[in-house]
Chain A
């Protein structure tokens, strides 16, 4: 008796009309009547708005000079941004000491880069401890007193560098804290659970502006006589707690996505509670939660502009101060706010791109 041999058919390329740019245009711009009308309307709208905007932004804009008098053309007065650029970026940090701010930012960039470059094992052993130390190293460098540099008090720190650093410092501390809160919320121990739930619900249910006011106005009333806690430090603590509350909920949803079988398998090979949590559960929760964690990072970074309500000289606050400067009363609000918006957008957009990259790196292990 002879058996027939089974041979699978070879795969064939997709039909030409479904791939390539022409197909894309047809598919996305002119696929239906409604779609065609929408495309035409959008093209008209762009045609009527874009030329004027581009003209104001670039062609008739004033780029060079140092004073308001240099702004003679009709367009935007970018001289305003130029003249104030140092304050916008560094606040009133002493000119001779700016390298310290730059060093801190450089360290941040290096550590972020390291966590991308290093292989997984080294990442946990090198980049993570460096991250956790960074806020304190930066504090020492910027303050300067401990290491024999010129002392710079925190009211002189400011500008966009402050936005970046306080956001980064908050994220770094909030990350482990929020994980602990999320663990506490799931815990069987009544004390741990009630403390976690109270913290999470309080900081999540209160507007960040109210928290900043509380931190700057009310908290000092509770301190004993003579004790003062630096304003920036209070703001930092509030940002950390606020962010932790949000991230704890992000982590909680991550926990719920872990199948029960993972806990059982960890139990069955004899791992203890913390071994199980840190070796099995934490890595998977972080991976599942990563998109939302990064969204929280972006949110907190943008929220740093609210610091202006308690007169912390971050970027927006400085631009507003510059707008009321007697040498620059010619109405540069549009340029100023546009610039602040643009800088934040660039940063948040890069963070989104980075988030994409991180998700791809983490996706190397496929779930079963």
Chain B
């Protein structure tokens, strides 16, 4: 595990390679000189105060946000204006959102098969079989024919995870996946994510669930004001934070 932490300079084995990435919203400098190498199978948790740029950073990885300077290479494909590159990268990257973003006019099964059928051009029967397999993995195969509005928040988020997995991604991005959930539903979503982590999926996870970070993360990254302030193994990060800003942040969130 600790090899990954120290492999930052080793670009060759990285599945995501971010170098000197800068992004502005108008005049506001939201990401400043971000450098990040993610190895295959690595599980990274990103935390930080709101407005620190953590969501923006992972949204750059599948081009939900554009950046103005620096480079970003995902699985050997460089992120540039070209639609072909963007589409190639999006095929490799799944994303789970804070507000689930299921398609409310489609049944759960149709939500899951949309990508495989229209993007990967798989036959319908095959796509549905795959979808059912993933629904079983997130433990709600019995909801396949319902609509998103009929499910609880936790169930919707598990469907959203299954939907991302259906396109068979190499990398999964999680953007505060439990922040919009009732306390009783957080666990069922985290359980699915832990399972996924144990199967070796490369994961980048913006979350404040520190229990999850301690349990599965290979590396915890702390961001503030658009910069990566500190990164380390969970044990070192929580027990022995190096920067004062990190110490203050941890005091705040671990106080209660």
Which residues in A have some Cβ–Cβ distance to B below 8 Å?
Answer: 259, 261-262, 264-272, 275, 279-280, 283-284, 287, 364-368
Contact = CB atoms under 8 A, between A and B. Distances in A.
Contacts of B101: 259, 261-262, 264-265
Nearest to B65: A264
Given A261-B97, A261-B99, A367-B149, A269 B105 contact: no
A269 B149 contact: no
B93 A268 contact: yes
Contact of A279 (B104, B118, B156): B118
Nearest to A280: B103
A262 B163 CA distance: 14
B91 to A, nearest CB: 5
Contacts of B148: 365, 368
B77 interface: no
Contact of B149 (A259, A280, A366): A366
A264 B91 contact: no
Contacts of B102: 265, 368
A262 B91 CA distance: 18
B115 interface: yes
B154 interface: no
A279 B97 contact: no
A279 B149 contact: no
Contact of B91 (A270, A284, A368): A270
Nearest to A282: B105
B167 A270 contact: yes
Closest 4 CB pairs of A and B: A366-B149, A265-B101, A269-B115, A261-B101
Nearest to A120: B105
Nearest to B87: A270
B62 A267 contact: yes
B119 A271 contact: yes
B94 interface: yes
B164 A269 contact: yes
Given A272-B87, A279-B118, A287 B167 contact: no
Given A365-B105, A368-B156, A271 B115 contact: yes
A284 B104 CA distance: 8
Nearest to B89: A270
Nearest to A272: B87
B189 to A, nearest CB: 15
Given A279-B118, A283-B105, A269 B167 contact: yes
A261 B176 CA distance: 14
A267 B103 contact: no
A267 B114 CA distance: 12
B90 interface: yes
B238 interface: no
Name the residue in B91, B114, B166 with the highest tally of chain A Cβ atoms < 10 Å from its Cβ.
B114
Interface in B42-77: 62-64
Contacts of A364: 147
B95 interface: yes
A273 B166 CA distance: 20
B7 interface: no
A297 B93 CA distance: 44
B105 A287 contact: yes
B134 interface: no
11 contacts: A264-B101, A268-B62, A268-B97, A270-B87, A271-B114, A271-B115, A365-B148, A366-B104, A366-B147, A368-B149, A368-B156
Contacts of B64: 264, 267-268
Contacts of B118: 271, 275, 279
B242 to A, nearest CB: 34
Nearest to A367: B104
Nearest to B160: A265
Contacts of B87: 270, 272
Nearest to B99: A261
Nearest to B102: A368
Given A366-B147, A366-B150, A368-B156, A268 B103 contact: no
B222 interface: no
A366 B149 CA distance: 5
